[in-house]
Amino acid sequence: MVIEQHIYPVQLMAITVSTLVIALGSESRSNAIIQR
């Protein structure tokens, strides 16, 4: 399981980007609901 232990910066960037996208999506949805 040596391969699983190695975390490459690309994977970290992908996880961070996906997390930010989900966070922004939830925020935009909540803002849209509040505006309505």
DSSP assigned state of 6 = -
Which domain, by its residues, includes 10? 2-35
Instruction: In the chain, count H helices and then E strands.
Output: 2, 0
For the segment 16-29, the average pLDDT, to the nearest whole number, is: 87
pLDDT value of residue 16: 92
pLDDT (0 to 100) of residue 32: 74
Q: Measuring CA to CA, which residue among 15, 18, 11 is closest to residue 26?
A: 18
Count of domains observed in the chain:
1
Structure tokens at 8: 């490459």
> Average pLDDT over the chain, rounded to whole?
79
Please check the confidence at residue 5 and state whether its pLDDT lies above 70. Answer: no
Burial 12-28 (b: 16+ CB within 10 A, else e): eeeeeeeeeeeeeeeee
Choice between 5 and 28, residue whose per-residue pLDDT is larger: 28
Q: What is the mean pLDDT of residues 7-25?
A: 87
